[in-house]
Amino acid sequence: MNLFRSMLPLAVLVVPVVAKAQPSEPFPAPFVIEHHLVDASLEGTPVTGETVRDTYGGSFLVSERPDGNRTIVDFARRELTEVRPTEGTYWSLSFGRFAELRKRLVDAEKTETTPEVRTQAAREKRPVRIEEVPDGAEGKVRGALSATGSAGRRLRASVEGGSALDVWLDVSAPRLTAAGVAALADFERNVLGAADGEVGPADLLEAVRLKEGGALAVRTRRGVGRAEALRDDGPYLETVVTKAMPVAALPASLVSVPEGLRRVPSPLEVVVSWAEDEAALRQRGRK
């Protein structure tokens, strides 16, 4: 779905925070990160997406896109709000509601011929392996949060027979706090994470964060395809950080919904409703 595709960069970023955290605020020192997605999942030249600007501060993350629309993640309330001034609308969903709707969508799209690929073993969390990968490519981050601008190290997090994620780290930059790690992991699992206990990108990224003490990722890459194998010459999705810098404060206007906007259902709610109606029609047709 386009909704999840646009939010994908959120699941593959490790972000820096000055280590003065308060338990109630995952991001006590406001900062901005700019990044873009590189889609090399199809044949031909990789496609570079638009630049997205993420502002972190207190208990919020606000992701702004060039079209003027923005996504507000409220970690304290565990809620996501999409504000679309260009359309005069907005919608909100809790993290729990997102997880529920994702499960309902999977259930609605099942058919009698759908293979059961998730065995009991697959539902159990498999151990994550993290290893260093030799790499001569540059992956610099530009901005005051990086002490040296060095590309740092390239690590690969993977599970046997499953997903893999490459992470280029700037180990010299300030670190993500423990509260920030927990907040992002909660969001990534409930809104973007794998279902049924499978180890997905959110788990792999969290493992790297924990191992490296919240080091800044200036670039991440995950394989796409049936087995999500990760090869330098294979299909992949990549997120590249191009800028990181501190800011004085997170503007209050970014985390508020302007007056006059009309609340509408989220795209996920619409898709789930349609899928469940289609499933009901299929069921009646088999009787």
> If pLDDT is split at 50, 70 and 90, which confidence band does 267 have?
very high
Mean pLDDT calculated for residue range 86-94: 95
Mean pLDDT over the full length of the chain: 79
The more confidently predicted of residues 209 and 65 is: 65
Can you state the angle between helices 178-187 and 201-211, rounded to 10 degrees?
A: 170
219 and 139 in contact (C-beta within 8 Å)?
Answer: yes
Query: For 111-138, what is each residue's pLDDT tens digit?
Result: 755 555 544 444 456 789 999 888 665 5
**pLDDT above 90 coverage of the chain, percent:** 33
CATH of domain 2-111+125-285: 2.50.20.10
Q: What's residue 130's pLDDT?
A: 94
Given a cut of 60, whether residue 215 has pLDDT beyond it is: yes
Integer Cα distance of 287 and 92 in angstroms: 38
Residue 273 CA, chain-centre distance (Å), reads: 24
Given a cut of 70, whether residue 104 has pLDDT beyond it is: yes
Q: Which residue ranges make up each domain of the chain?
A: 2-111+125-285
200 and 42 in contact (C-beta within 8 Å)?
Answer: no
Q: What's residue 4's pLDDT?
A: 45
Report the C-alpha dihedral over residues 90, 94, 96, 101, rounded to 10 degrees.
Answer: -10
